[in-house]
Amino acid sequence: MYIFITNIDICPYNDNLLKNMLTLEKYQQVKKNKQSACGYMLVSYALQIKYGYNNYKIKQNKNGKPYIDGFNNIFISISHSNKYAVVALDNKPCAIDIEKLHIVNDRVIKRVLSSKEYDWLYNYNEKEKIYDNFIKLWTMKESFIKINGDSIFSGLNNISLINNNRIIEEYMGKQFKIYTIDDYIITSYGINKQKDQFIFYPEGWSKNINKM
């Protein structure tokens, strides 16, 4: 899996490119949101440097999962949080999620975690690790939901990613890989078990990515 990443503050913006690659309705939504715009700029960069594609249309299923119209062997996933946008690109189904580490309301934690995960979070983690591990589980679950093209908050607490008091690495035949950049967690999820390759946009910009 290729993972493209950009800092939203320095991400180049090309209005004509976005207009050509998106449906009119999606373009009108995206142009009002800098994070979304950078996510789709990142998709265009990924498709250009990996496949040389310049002429395509990105559409969405009923739950908002993006796909490249007419290209059944190329899969994309987009995520953004605060100052970073990321895109996963692969020849097999893939998903990605990024989230900034932050304190989370307990109601949200209960909404996202299964009862088993909730007990593990508070009974087997040091206090300063509770929110970090919650964000890790949250990004894993969102990646799982995304790969199936379902609504993001559809049944997250019905999924349990804890076994023997540890966060699992594989679920339903696909593998999670978790990374950190600054105070953000990035989780990829897909069939390919090979090492993910990070590519920075624009060219020349880079950051330390650490695998957890």
Higher pLDDT, 168 or 194: 168
List phi, psi (to 5°) of 104: -120, 140
Question: Which residues form the domain of 28?
Answer: 2-211
Q: How far apart are CA 64 and CA 209, in angstroms?
A: 28
- pLDDT tens per residue, range 128-179: 899 999 999 999 999 998 987 765 555 788 889 999 999 999 999 999 999 9
Residue 133: closest CA among 78, 189, 178: 178
Number of domains in the chain: 1
Q: What global pTM score does this model have?
A: 0.94
Average pLDDT over residues 106-127: 95
List the beta bridge partners of residue 173. none
**Burial of 42 per CB tally in 10 Å (0-12, 13-18, 19+):** buried
170 residue type, one letter: E
CATH number at residue 116: 3.90.470.20
Q: What is the pLDDT of residue 87?
A: 98
Q: Which residues contact 115 (CB under 8 A, 6 or more apart)?
A: none
Q: What is the pLDDT of residue 148?
A: 77
Report the chain's mean pLDDT, rounded to a whole number. 93
Residue 161: closest CA among 126, 109, 118: 118
Average pLDDT over residues 30-44: 95
- pLDDT tens per residue, range 86-110: 999 999 999 999 999 999 999 999 9
